[in-house]
Amino acid sequence: MNGLSTTIPIRGNYLEDNKVEYLFPTGERIYSTTRLMDLSFNDVVDTNSIGIPANSQGNLNINTTSSMQDYSPKPISWLDLPYWSESSGSSTSGSRNALLFEFHDSEMNPIGVNSFGAWFGDIETRTDSVPAFARVYDSAQNSLTENIIISENDDTDLNQCGNTTGIAEGCGNHTTRWIGFSELSNTRIQKLLVAVGEDDLGADGSREHLSFTGPTIAMASTCATPTVNIIPSPSTTPIPSPTPTVLPTITIEPTPTNTPSPIPTFTSTPIPTVVITSAITPSITSSPTTTPNPTVESPTITPTPISLTLKPKLCLKSYKWNHQTKIRIIQRIVIMIMNNICAK
């Protein structure tokens, strides 16, 4: 049986803003890196050129939203995925923004892959002015294709693109599409360059931005057709051809009356942290173990003044004791006694 046998497509896991990991069931790891490049007019013409790195690179938006750059819708099943976007723009008139994807093995050495693709948001393009395009390269930066034009949808009214007063959306503005490549017979492709175009008639694409989500890799395990296909969207099996084949694009467009709005990000309320610190016991000052000897103060004894008794009245000269008796002998005895008493 002549057919293809491939591994299950592996959607990448973002490790950082510009690096994605793809882990296969076999344990093999492949990495892709993303760089925002500035393409001058000469870079656009020279298919072997990849431009120069932009002064400001893009980054991941990790919020759960329904849209990417400039309201370009996310695929409904991938709303929870982060998306990469940039807003710096080209710094030189006439230059364009482009995304360069490069593939590496687990040691970050260049490696070719069979298939790669992603959903790109707000890739503006118009074939009557400045179309978006893609190119693929090998590890030596040899271009394997010419510029593969990323066209607007077949039913697009170009009069409704760019700066118009109508409500129609087209030429890539506010829309999302799948862009990728597939070369199952070889692993030559080590780089993919996707350059933005312009939706405004007469403009040069220098002010246009782009975004992407859901990068996916698949590796082939058996024979396949040798055709390199740039695939803006899933399609029927291409007819083998010695030159790259561009397949029709399917663009996801939001309806004018239902502009996608960001889905609120629900942040769980953090559980309060209860910090228990050791109880601090107050210090207790112990009483002295020795019993103080009480100081006994002798009371101050203030002697009570002793009232001195004055001499009895009978000692007074005015006392007429000597007139108390008329008997002379007795009187004399009394005088003697009283003199002794009063003489003290």
Q: What is the pLDDT of residue 163?
A: 67
313: Cβ–Cβ under 8 A, 6 or more apart, which residues?
319
Q: What is the pLDDT of residue 157?
A: 79
Higher pLDDT, 335 or 16: 16
Residue 267 pLDDT exceeds 70: no
For residue 7, CA distances in Å to 24, 83, 91, 296 come to 8, 25, 41, 107
Residue 41 pLDDT exceeds 50: yes
Least confident of 117-126, 293-302, 335-344: 293-302
How many angstroms separate the CA atoms of 96 and 208, rounded?
A: 8
* pLDDT interval class at 228 (50, 70, 90): low
Q: What is the pLDDT of residue 53?
A: 93
Task: Provide the β-strand partners of residue 38.
Answer: 52, 97
Average pLDDT, the chain: 73
Question: What are the two backbone dihedrals, phi and then psi, of residue 333, each rounded to the nearest 5 degrees?
Answer: -65, -45
Tens digit of pLDDT for each residue in 318-333? Answer: 455 555 556 778 778 8
Q: What is the pLDDT of residue 318?
A: 47
Tens digit of pLDDT for each residue in 124-169? Answer: 898 888 999 999 999 999 999 999 999 988 888 787 787 655 555 6
Q: What is the pLDDT of residue 255?
A: 37
Residue 245 pLDDT exceeds 80: no
Higher pLDDT, 89 or 306: 89
Q: How many CB atoms lie within 10 A of CB 101?
A: 23
What integer is the mean pLDDT of 276-289? 35
What token pair was written down for 332?
């004399």
* pLDDT interval class at 202 (50, 70, 90): confident
Closest Cα to residue 120, out of 168, 173, 80, 158? 173
* pLDDT interval class at 229 (50, 70, 90): low
Instruction: Identify which of 3-7, 164-168, 173-177 has the greatest average pLDDT.
Output: 173-177
Task: Write down the domain spans for the chain.
Answer: 10-252, 313-343
Tens digit of pLDDT for each residue in 64-116? Answer: 889 998 889 999 888 889 999 988 766 577 789 999 999 999 999 999 999 99
State the burial class of residue 89 (Cβ atoms within 10 Å of its Cβ: 0-12, 13-18, 19+).
middle
* pLDDT interval class at 208 (50, 70, 90): confident
Q: What three-state secondary structure class fits 136?
A: strand
Residue 341 pLDDT exceeds 80: no
Residue 303 pLDDT exceeds 90: no
Percentage of the chain exceeding pLDDT 70: 63
Higher pLDDT, 232 or 278: 232
Residue 284 pLDDT exceeds 90: no
Instruction: Identify which of 4-13, 121-130, 209-218, 312-321 has the greatest average pLDDT.
Output: 209-218
What integer is the mean pLDDT of 238-262? 40
What integer is the mean pLDDT of 254-268? 36
Q: What is the pTM of this model?
A: 0.65
Q: Is the dihedral of CA 98, 132, 173, 65 positive or negative?
A: negative
Residue 117 pLDDT exceeds 70: yes
Residue 197 pLDDT exceeds 60: yes
